[in-house]
Amino acid sequence: MNSVASFNVTKQKAAWWRIYQPQPQAKQRIICLPHAGGCASFFKKWTMTLPSSIELVTIQYPGREERLAEPLINNMDELIDGLIIALTEQQLLDKPYLLFGHSMGGYIVYELCLALRECNLPLPYQLVISASEAPTHKNTSSLHLDSDQALLDELEKLNGTQFSLATHPELAQMLLPIIRNDYQLIESWRPKPNSLPLDIPLTTFIARQDTELTEEQALAWQQQTTKNFHCEYFQGNHFYLIEEQAKVIQALLKIAKQQMTSHYQWTMTP
């Protein structure tokens, strides 16, 4: 890790995460990483339906919302360095936790798990990757080099916003640099060759009408774990979790409940 980058990241470590509804007595955490162009508040409504036994932590990438004045990060390794520092120094890994990443966030949580393993830090009890192709099926593209209009067309196709940016030029002007940056991060990321599979149960969430992801690409995540692999299907497009929020949370709660049941049985074993 670069020493200068380390200092800057450490200085800003408290800004890397948001807990919109603290749950000091929670038994576990769900840590969410958003999509390209996304921010922590994308998951804010989730806190309204989670039980007090689960604390929701949402990651805030630099250069958006309250971190708007900070430089964006377009390099996966630098982003992972920042996350490792923030999560460990803020003691967010001191309880059983689930990692959830949507789209770009799916690639990031995978790389984060590899880094946590390398650093001998606590690993999540479950990795949930949403709307992301497996490393062995990573698409090659260069959208970050295309025109603003091409990026806007891509967003329209994905339906990642609940309104058209084409009719909100001022908002588009603010968001386009962030989206271009995040696409550069995704498109320049090269999965590490010959990485050993993770010893973590892995679940993929797939939207049936997602034109950006095939079932084959999503199911190939099974190659990245030595533990149980499962796939959950939802109705909708690439951003299905907006309309399917209740079902997504229900699926995550089912996983969380299974983890706590297993933990209880393990602790009660003579």
Q: How confident is the model at residue 226 (pLDDT cuts 50, 70, 90)?
A: very high
In the prediction, which pLDDT does 173 show? 73
57 belongs to a structural domain: yes
> Looking at residues 220-246, what average pLDDT do you find?
95
Number of structural domains the chain divides into: 1
Position 158 scores a pLDDT of 64
- Average of pLDDT values for 133-148? 77
- Is the residue at 104 inside a domain? yes
Out of 54-68, 126-140, 148-162, 167-181, least confident range: 148-162
Q: How confident is the model at residue 212 (pLDDT cuts 50, 70, 90)?
A: confident
Q: Which of 57-61, 69-73, 262-266 has the lowest mean pLDDT?
A: 262-266
Lowest mean pLDDT among 40-49, 75-84, 135-144, 233-242: 135-144
* 232 within a domain of the structure (yes/no): yes
Higher pLDDT, 139 or 44: 44
**Structural domain includes residue 159:** no
Residues 256 and 98: their CA atoms lie apart, in Å, by 8
Contacts of 170 by beta carbon, 8 Å cutoff, 6+ apart: none
Q: Which of 195, 190, 186 is nearest to 223 (CA)?
A: 195
Task: Say which CATH number the domain at 121 has.
Answer: 3.40.50.1820
Q: Whole-angstrom Cα distance, residue 208 to residue 124?
A: 27
The reply to whether 145 falls in a domain is no
Tokens of 254: 């089912």
Strands 17-18 and 229-234 come out as: unpaired
Give the number of other Cβ atoms within 10 Å of residue 147's Cβ.
9
The parent domain of residue 235 ranges over 3-138+194-268
Under a CB-based contact definition with an 8 Å cutoff, are residues 245 and 56 in contact? no
Q: Sorting pLDDT into bands at 50, 70 and 90, what band is 250?
A: very high
pLDDT of residue 152 exceeding 50 = yes
Domain contains 150: no
Q: Is the pLDDT of residue 27 over 90?
A: yes
Q: What is the pLDDT of residues 78-105, one digit of tens each?
A: 999 999 999 998 899 999 999 999 999 9
pLDDT of residue 267: 34
Within a domain: 61: yes
Question: Cα angle vertex 216, ends 46, 200, to 5°?
Answer: 55
pLDDT, the chain, mean: 86
Predicted TM-score (pTM) of the model is 0.87
The answer to the question of residue 221 being in a domain is: yes
pLDDT of residue 22: 95
What is the reported pLDDT for 164?
58
